[in-house]
Amino acid sequence: MIKSLFISDLHGSIKKYDCLFQKILEYQPHAVFIAGDLLGSSSYSSANSLPGVNDILYDYIVVQLQKIKLELAENYPKIFVILGNDDSKLHEAAMLDISTTGLFTYLNQQIVKFGNYKVAGYPYVPPTPFLNKDWEKYDVSRYVDVGCVPPENGFRSIPISQRELGYYTIKKDLELLFSAEEMDNMICLFHAPPYQTNLDLADLEGKYIDYVPLDVHIGSIAIKDFIIARSPYLTLHGHAHESTRLTGIWKEKINNTVSLQGASDNESCFLIEFDLENPISAVKID
């Protein structure tokens, strides 16, 4: 048994971080997976975000993880982390720095070994209505949904080339990242959920812009196609906060792949516990 915990979209919430850290101490998992949006603000968590902390990463998260590592010693888990579209790319240097300490493993279009498994991290999402474009790319083409802002617009904390901006897609990235990889032991940590599933529903039913209905599914077509075509062992997702509330579903099997949604749209501690050797048996813990 490989005890594992999964969560996504903490958005700087003290309550969610404290819950996660307490569960790590209680459950003593072998692995923890966090699918992005660690630091960004959001409308539902702003009232409970970290107050008076100049650097959330170093002054809060690192300090708490150091305490956990001191207490658990050799039982300290392997923690795999990606950023999400609400996080600034300016934090990436700090993420890489902390990753060298062994407190967590930061992944951005990278694959690492974990026992008999491999863990891949991919933070990008298709275009959204929001203006922070650090972690957005076109999905499978240059099409942008009604109400969304193209990747060329908005702002980026770190500039990228015009070629990457206009022509690199999530589809192309996945092809490059996984082309030479076997999938039977691959764990994919994605911020975006797969498109048109029970894991990517947004609260957009009956909403229009200029009389055009908005797509209620906000996931990635490229990620959905990748799962269907390549059948990775396990995929872990976030981004769609309200999906679980709207569908009542946070666990889905796509062909042979188990896919889990770890985000939620309230301040409750939405954590998923599972045995990595049997992820379909995953359960939600509060």
pLDDT in tens, 138-169: 999 988 888 889 998 889 999 888 888 778 89
Spatial separation of the C-alpha atoms in residues 79 and 121, rounded to whole Å: 12
Q: CA 103, 108, 113, 118 torsion: positive or negative?
A: positive
Average pLDDT, the chain: 91
For domain 3-285, the CATH class is: alpha beta
Q: Which residues contact 258 (CB under 8 A, 6 or more apart)?
A: 233, 234, 235, 251, 252, 279, 280, 282
pLDDT at 173: 97
| pTM of this structure | 0.93
Residue among 124, 131, 118 nearest 78 (CA): 118
Return the bridge partners of 4, or none.
31, 274
Residue among 84, 121, 76, 122 nearest 103 (CA): 76
Is 231 within 8 Å of 255 (Cβ atoms)? yes
- 3-class SS letters over 17-86: HHHHHHHHHHHCCCEEEEECCCCCCCCCCHHHECCCCCCHHHHHHHHHHHHHHHHHHHHCCEEEEECCCC
Helix or strand run (H / E) with residue 105: strand 105-106
pLDDT at 49: 47
pLDDT at 251: 98
pLDDT at 122: 99
- Sheet containing strand 271-275, edge to edge, reads 105-106, 78-82, 31-35, 3-7, 271-275, 278-285
Is 122 within 8 Å of 187 (Cβ atoms)? no
What are the average pLDDT values for consecutive 10-residue runs of the chain, which has 286 residues? 96 91 97 93 42 67 97 98 94 94 98 98 97 95 88 90 84 97 98 98 85 89 98 98 92 97 86 97 90
pLDDT at 14: 85
